[in-house]
Amino acid sequence: MPRGDFVSDTNLEYAVITLALSMIRGMGNARLNQTLALVQRCRWDLSQLRDVSAPAFIRQVQEQDPTIASLLTRCDTAYFETAGALIQRAQENGIRPVTIRESGYPASIRTCLGNLAPPLLFVLGNAALLHDTAGAVAGTRAPSARGEKAARTAAEAIVEHTMSLVSGGATGVDHAAHDAAIAAGKNTVLILPQGLLTWTPPASWRDALNEGRLAAISACMPDAPWQTHAAVARNALISAQAQTVCIVEPKKQGGSLLTMRHAIHQRKPTFVTPLHAAPPGLRPYVHPIGDLDKTLASLDLKQLLHTGNMQDGQAELP
């Protein structure tokens, strides 16, 4: 595996604290981002968060936000030991922690998801791929022969016009898309619903990883197994990381449909095959996948990357 990039002592401390606070029961992304913003706004010493049980500090937080103060009282000092050990193990395996306050954090995810963005990501591979244009392909785990071909064709069009493909790591459409990008000698980004320490890439993906043509990112604990709730949350990240999104053979329920809804909500150009697989209420917002290549050629992808595609506000969906 490639070695992880250098992480400064300050950013490493911030990552450990962020991971530890994420273990608090009831501390979701939005509340954790609010907590970290409060610390920054009040100019409190970062190290104070390692002793959140200190009465004087809790009183300070209570004066600013009683809900956050209540959550912090649930923090166990053992969380910091666990977080430190996990991050050290991750780094030893070439995995870099990236907090939302760092320049290395993907701007497209921060922009599109706002306060719901994961406060901490783990990155394996070429992190530079997270900061340039990309298009996403997502779809069923059991595609038809036509669907698998559509996934490959969409991936090939995307890497012809953008720097990277984005998808999950599931079997079916995801695998077909990643394989097509790698076979074309292009770049690909995986967003995983499990910890990077528990993920094993196929041989061809490992080669791309070592050659700097693949990046894998996760918002999960480094040692977390595949989790259904993480797979659901991952769909928003796939859409947020891309400037355009393709959905192949979505089912009436499931991750592909959620990714489609996220893409439309974020005002991403969204393509679906077959078109009738999109729910009737969403069809006015999507395009046939046959229009993908022509649309990619006409888009100012760099502009969309910097604006997060939401310059006109989020789409109101039925």
pLDDT at 309: 64
Cα–Cα distance, 255 to 192 (Å, whole number): 13
Q: Which long-range contacts link 151-155 to residues 24+ away (Cβ below 8 Å)? A: 151/176, 151/177, 151/180, 151/246, 151/248, 152/176, 152/177, 152/179, 152/180, 153/180, 154/246, 154/248, 154/271, 154/289, 154/292, 155/180, 155/181, 155/184
Task: Provide the pairing of β-strand 134-139 with 164-167.
Answer: parallel
% pLDDT > 70, the chain:
95
Residue 62 contacts by C-beta under 8 Å, 6 or more apart in sequence? 69
Q: What pLDDT was estimated at residue 310?
A: 53
Task: Give the model confidence (pLDDT) of 227-263 as tens digits.
Answer: 888 999 999 999 999 999 999 999 988 899 999 999 9
Close Cβ partners of 105 (under 8 Å, ≥ 6 residues apart): 98, 99, 121
CA gap 112, 129 in Å, rounded: 18
* pLDDT tens track for 190-239: 999 999 999 999 999 999 999 999 999 999 999 999 988 899 999 999 99
Q: What is the pLDDT of residues 143-175, one digit of tens each?
A: 999 999 999 999 999 999 999 999 999 999 999
∠ Cα 128 132 135 (to 5°): 120
45-51-55-60 Cα dihedral, nearest 10 degrees: 30
Q: Which CATH number fits domain 125-307: 3.40.50.2300, 3.40.50.300, 3.40.50.450, 3.40.50.2000?
A: 3.40.50.450
Quick one: pLDDT at residue 75?
A: 92
Q: Which tens digits make up the pLDDT trace of 257-316?
A: 999 999 999 999 999 999 999 999 999 999 999 999 999 999 898 888 877 765 444 444
Which residues are within 8 A (CB) of 131 and not within 5 positions of it... i.e. 6 or more apart?
Answer: 106, 107
Find the mean pLDDT for residues 55-84.
93
- Cis before residue 274, ω within 30 degrees of 0? yes
Q: How far apart are CA 282 and CA 285, in angstroms?
A: 6
pLDDT at 47: 80
Question: For the chain, what's the residue count?
Answer: 318
Closest Cα partner for 1 from 217, 201, 220? 201
- Distances in Å between the alpha carbon of 62 and those of 45, 69, 184? 16, 5, 55
pLDDT at 54: 82
pLDDT recorded at residue 317: 46
Q: How far apart are CA 270 and CA 264, in angstroms?
A: 7
Q: In the chain, where are the structural domains located?
A: 9-95, 125-307
Residue 52: pLDDT band with limits 50, 70, 90: confident
Residues with Cβ within 8 Å of 56's Cβ and at least 6 positions away in sequence, in order, are: none
pTM of the model: 0.92
